[in-house]
Amino acid sequence: MALQVPYRNRLIGLVLLIAVYSCGNRSNVNRIKVNIADAALKQIAGVFYYHDAPFTGMIYSTYPGGDTARAETFMEGREDGWLKWWYPNKQLAQLRFFTNGKKERVHRGWWEDGKPKFEYHFVNDEHEGEAKEWFKSGALCRVFHYKAGHEEGSEKMWWDNGKIRANYVVINGEKFGLFGEKLCVNQLKK
């Protein structure tokens, strides 16, 4: 038996109302947008306040021409959500994600021409998994591996000419291999 039209409309309305309210406070994050230069915005011990209350919303900055330079969302004064930086040419420079002030997920960066600059993975504010960096030319600069914020596994670094700079393995915090460190020796002449 099909629902009568008025009951069906009420049911649809109720479902929509539940969906909207189930999103919690995060749905309000983008409603308040404040320029970083606003005098009412202050940062105290890593927490942003707006008119003396922990800030929830978006903080942004612009280039002199008016284009957005940076935009970041906050919840109760702490970074929460996406942080985006752009170059003056409107190319995305960095894309990072935070939860309650802590780095999370994949953080990526690009050079001004759009080539990759870095890719880091975070869990609970700690490096986790593979981290990569590239030279402006597009060649790999380094590939490191992390576990709970510490180097673990195969680590490689290159010079900008492509020659290997470091190639080592970290096992339980101990390094084995070529570290790429310059040895300095002082000798006194007799």
Tens of pLDDT, residue by residue over 89-116, are: 999 999 999 999 999 999 999 999 999 9
Mean pLDDT is lowest, of 36-40, 63-67, 166-170, 183-187, for: 183-187
| Mean pLDDT over each residue of the chain, to the nearest integer | 86
3-state secondary structure the chain: CCCCHHHHHHHHHHHHHHHHHHCHHHHHCCCCEEECCCCCEEEECCEEEECCEECCEEEEEECCCCCEEEEEEEECCEEEEEEEEECCCCCEEEEEEEECCEEEEEEEEECCCCCEEEEEEEECCEECEEEEEECCCCCEEEEEEEECCEECEEEEEECCCCCEEEEEEEECCEEEEECCCCCCCCCCCC
Residue 145, in any domain of the structure: yes
pLDDT grade for 31, boundaries at 50, 70 and 90: confident
The number of folded domains in the chain is 1
Question: What pLDDT, on the 0 to 100 scale, is given for residue 7?
Answer: 52
Residue 9, in any domain of the structure: no
Question: What pLDDT, on the 0 to 100 scale, is given for residue 37?
Answer: 95
What distance in Å separates the CA atoms of residue 3 and residue 89, rounded to the nearest whole number? 56
Question: What pLDDT, on the 0 to 100 scale, is given for residue 178?
Answer: 83
Residue 52, in any domain of the structure: yes
Residue 61, in any domain of the structure: yes
Question: What pLDDT, on the 0 to 100 scale, is given for residue 6?
Answer: 55
- pLDDT for 23 beyond 60: no
Structure tokens at 110: 């690009």
Q: What is the CATH number of the domain that holds 81?
A: 3.90.930.1
pTM of the model: 0.76
Residue 111, in any domain of the structure: yes
pLDDT digits (tens, 9 = 90+) for 122-163: 999 999 999 999 999 999 999 999 999 999 999 999 999 999
Q: Which of 163, 141, 167, 138 has its CA nearest to residue 153?
A: 167
What residue numbers bound the domain in which 37 lies?
33-178
Question: What pLDDT, on the 0 to 100 scale, is given for residue 36?
Answer: 96
Residue 70, in any domain of the structure: yes
Residue 10, in any domain of the structure: no
Q: What are the distances in angstroms from CA 139 to CA 23, 91, 143?
A: 42, 20, 11
Residue 134, in any domain of the structure: yes
- pLDDT for 5 beyond 70: no
pLDDT grade for 22, boundaries at 50, 70 and 90: very low
